[in-house]
Structure 1
Amino acid sequence: MKQKIALLLAAALLLCSGVQARRAPRHVAPRAAELNFAFLTDVHVTPRGESDSLLRAAVAEINASAVDFVLVTGDLCNMGSDAELHCVHGILKRLRKPWFAVPGNHETTWSESACTTFGRLFGNDGRLAFRAGGYLFVGFTAGPYMKMADGSVRREDLQWVEEQMRAARPGERIVTFCHYPLTNDVTNRTAVTQLLRRYDVRFDLCGHYHTLLLCNFDSIPGLMGRSLIPKNRRQEPAAGYNLVRVWGDSVALYEKRLGEAPRLSFAIPQGNSAALAALPCDPQPAPITYERTGAALVVEDEASIYTGVAVAGDTIFYGTSLGVLKAYDVKNRREVWRRQFGNAVYSTPLAAGGVVVAGDAAGAV
């Protein structure tokens, strides 16, 4: 039974299924010649702390600049508390430019509200799209949805990303952004990068490691931004953020230290190129196989499974990221019943005495 349960969870992490897109792309006034935008990541705001005042200074600088819009790629806070999220949202609301934010691991794995407060404040559940200057920007989240787990992109989110990219206008270029770098830090990284390559994504923006870096994400240029507070205060004491310039077939990333002129970090052709191919790339993860485990495929699910499973005889009970609690008969290989919740089910259900207890992310039982 344990082998079958492990296989169920592993198989579920490989699949992708569809849900309808929840909102149409929002629009930003285009600029024909080029795009210039601010790129914030890993601001890690603590109310009334140093990061609080530094982000306010960064917002003031951005408001006084000529950038077209602002992207924020996660880790807006430290402990995922509602107080932190309200604080950072209040600061970002002072931006007089269009701004777009997706969550990072500090908004998911430590979330006080099981990821619900972010959506209520920021108006998206970690996926959003907008158009600017002939580009379609598509943002998504990569969790994680369990304490200290690796990142992963939920199947319904991958499906949504594909729906947005499929709807790109003729001649429109696609850019993606997410908190995690698209490396083996994301458990289903191969599925993600294969999808992005299929739609010729021109480059991807990310954070997570707090340092400026040009990356090779399986032949997709990856622009990793610096954090608000430097990773090493002894070597680089100045706080700051990032600026991105997009023109022609090129993209450039600049470091913008507070109170200083922008410094070019690197420029590279969009898409795959000889310059990108010269950069290291994470090796492809080994495919999941079960020959040596003695396990056999029992069931494949249409959604991500981040819960453990409860067991009662030949029946297992588990929840999914689409908010479904399921009972599955592993002996007869059939679903016994399901219950639809209003939000994702991340906690492991309990089963005893003929009763199953589970709760969704909003606390419904």
Structure 2
Amino acid sequence: MNEGSGDHLPRHELPAEFGDLRAQDDASHTDEPAMLARFARPRTETRTTLAIVSDPHVSTAKEETWKVFHRTERRLRAAVTDIEARDVDGVVFAGDLTEDGRPADFELVADVLSDLRVPFVAVPGNHDVPKDFDDHETPPISDFQADFTPGELPFHERIGGVDVLGLNSASNPDGSLDDCHGGEVSPTQLDWLDNTLPETETPIVVSHHNMAGLADRTDADPAILHSPLGDDEEFTETLARHDAALHLSGHVHLPAVTENRGVRGAVVPALCSFPQAYTLLEVGPDGTTLRIVPVADREGVAESYRLAQSHSARSRGVSNVVAEQLADLPLVDERAPREAHTGDFGKAKTPLARLD
């Protein structure tokens, strides 16, 4: 299948509002990508830019589905090329690097990431870890740690002026999963967070699975959303107790922002599926800004939308929510004037508390 093809699929036109986000083959890096969200915190005196990449789902064998498997290598390579052309301090991968943990897919990911000249770290997603029902041999989590982390999980990595705290929300304590989509932060990792957060200056906590509250903050039918962290209350309480302002995740293949007890949860879009994008996270003295960076050309974005619309009821629902979220950016802007600030999130119409 050639780039942008898919004539055998039902015709589903991209929403007109999505036009400003489409990347062009000759796109210049001089134009700032669209703002996804802007927060008053975290702040740091050392300006730091991180590329946040989630859900590339790289596959060496599969094609199509709403994850556009036949483009996954190309999209990851495009993201790496685009990131290298920008002045970033590091890259954080928020999980699901592979289609489903096959060794060949991990090898391809490692090969692509070898082109990165800036530091990178990763947390595993549910598709990266061994599962009880795998029909193939998925490498143990120790291999993931050796290849994609500073050497262990959880980890604390200082990048620029930011403390990145990476968690494994994808594995049960015994290292395997009996449910494909669920996730939690183990008691051992919660203890680690409790002990590590006081040692940080500007913490950003990363796990593959998201905080609770997406259904309340979007127009999404809860049936199309994966379950959030199973121990979300205890996890969020730990972050709030140490004044950790931001949690990053992927997993659900749509951009969104949540809030609980003063902790912001930013869910970043997927690299493999509509809109096939990564996120720039910029932290400085004035706060934190997230920007969305598509890596496909216009025809490629249209293909991913058509596949999502035709693959399943769930993928159609997710792509509709993605289009709705992106039609009214930024999702929140805490640095806008108070009288102009709404912070509304879809049907809930609930403003985020300001963190001045």
When the two structures are superposed, what TM-score results if normalisation uses the length of structure 1? Answer: 0.59
Change in 2 beyond 3 A, CA 1:229/1:205: same
Q: Which has the higher helix share?
A: 2
**Match of residue 221 from structure 1:** 264
Tell me what 2:284 maps to: 247
1:129 counterpart letter in structure 2: H
The alpha-carbon distance between structure 1 residues 132 and 79, as it changes in their structure 2 partners (threshold 3 A), is closer
Q: Deviations over 1:128-178 (max 9, x none)?
A: 21224443221111124322162111111112222221222xxx2221111
Match runs of 1:125-204 below 5 Å:
125-145=152-172, 146-148=177-179, 150-168=182-200, 172-183=201-212, 185-204=228-247
Letter in 1 for 2:287: S
- Is 1:97 paired with 2:130? no
Contact conserved, 2:331 with 2:343, CA < 8 A, in 1? no
| Aligned CA distance change for structure 1 residues 249 and 277 (closer, same or farther; 3 Å) | farther
For 2:12, the equivalent position in structure 1 comes to none
Find the partner of 1:117 among 136, 140, 143.
143
Structure 2: unaligned runs, 5 residues or longer: 1-43, 62-69, 132-136, 213-226, 298-325, 350-356
SS of alignment partner, residue 108 of structure 1: coil
* Aligned-partner Cα distance in 2 for 1:259–1:266: 22
The match for 2:99 is 78
Which amino acid in structure 2 is aligned with residue 244 of structure 1?
L
Where structure 1 has 5 or more consecutive residues not aligned to the other structure, the ranges are 1-30, 282-365
CA contact (8 A) 2:60 2:105 kept: yes
Q: Which has the higher strand share?
A: 1
How far off its partner does 1:86 sit? Answer: 1.8
Contact in 2 for aligned 1:221/1:276 (Cα 8 Å) = no
- Do the aligned residues in 2 keep the contact of 1:109 with 1:147 (CA within 8 Å)? no
Give the aligned residue type for 2:252. Answer: Y
Look up the SS of the partner of 1:86 in the other structure. helix
Assess if the C-alpha contact under 8 Å between 2:245 and 2:262 holds in 1: no
AA at the equivalent of 1:251: T
Alignment partners' CA distance in 2, 1:125 and 1:52 = 26
- Quote the offset at 1:221 in angstroms: 0.9
Q: Is the CA contact (8 Å cut-off) linking 1:250 and 1:268 kept in structure 2?
A: no
Displacement after TM superposition at 1:80 (Å): 1.0
The residue that corresponds to 1:46 in the other structure is: 59
Q: What do residues 6-33 of structure 1 show as CA deviations (whole Å, max 9, x unaligned)? A: xxxxxxxxxxxxxxxxxxxxxxxxx845
Deviation at 1:259, TM superposition (A): 6.6
- Report the alpha carbon displacement of residue 122 of structure 1 after superposing the two structures with TM: 2.1
- Same amino acid, percent of matched pairs: 24
Aligned with 1:44: secondary structure? coil
